[in-house]
Amino acid sequence: MLTLVGKDLRAGALYLAVQVPLLGLQVGEGLLTGKGFVVRSCLTAAILVVTAQGLEWNVGAEPFVHSLPVSRGDVVKARYATFLLLSGAWLALMAVMALIFASIVVTRGGVWPAWFALDGALTGVICVGVFIPIFLACVFRFGMGKGVVVATMVLGVLAPLGIRVVRAGDLAGVIAAVGAVPAAAAVVLTIGFIIWLSMRLSIRFYERREF
């Protein structure tokens, strides 16, 4: 499985090396708009994962992968490991960038940016932790082409509902009521369960697909 993860990263190394700085500049611009930084960070993390999956589909490498002495379950697990590695590293990098920016603002006599808070970080984790598992499950069920269409339709329905839930729940208010640690733990456990469930479904879907 680790070999497959390494293959994904090596295959997309050149493309990602060009894309990451460009996306980083766009996200950096979002620092000036606050909430836009959170949104762009989430979108970029998703783009990196989709890119890693799309490169293999674009060159038709799936038959080659299945000729290797690995099970389809291992192929799925490798994709999810790549997802966690790429998105986790990107969100961590964005958190460091935001921390540096906020610190500069404070040292120059400004106040700590209201958008750089735990609720913003948890919102980013929730967005990426819900979007990517749905995308991967659809891709392993229908293939990259149809899977993207189906995932877009599903997310198009879920996005307005998610926005309503976030607004109604007032994540900052929930954190203030229950505490930062319990709120963060609840989000991490929930997203972890979603990823696990998505991976189990993806394994079942992929084992039943015909090529």
Give the tens place of pLDDT for each residue, 127-183.
888 888 998 999 888 888 888 889 888 888 887 766 665 554 566 677 777 787 888
Give the C-alpha separation, 172 to 21, whole Å: 32
So what's the pLDDT on residue 200? 94
Give the C-alpha separation, 101 to 133, whole Å: 31
Q: Which residue has the tokens 């490169």?
A: 55
Enter the tokens of residue 113. Answer: 């940016």
Any idea where the domains of the chain sit in the sequence? Answer: 2-208
Contact 172, 119 (CB under 8 A): yes
Closest CA to 136 of 197, 193, 90: 197
Contact 48, 86 (CB under 8 A): yes
Enter the tokens of residue 174. Answer: 């929930």
Give the 3-state secondary structure of residue 89.
helix
Mean pLDDT on 9-29: 60
pLDDT tens column, 197-209: 999 999 999 888 7
The number of beta carbons lying within 10 Å of the beta carbon of residue 154 is 14
Contact 195, 80 (CB under 8 A): yes
What mean pLDDT is reported for the chain? 75
Distance set, CA 123 to CA 104, 115, 170 (Å): 23, 11, 11
Mean pLDDT on 20-44: 64
So what's the pLDDT on residue 183? 83
So what's the pLDDT on residue 195? 93
Q: Where are the alpha helices (DSSP H) in the chain?
A: 2-11, 13-30, 35-58, 62-66, 72-107, 118-142, 144-169, 171-178, 180-208
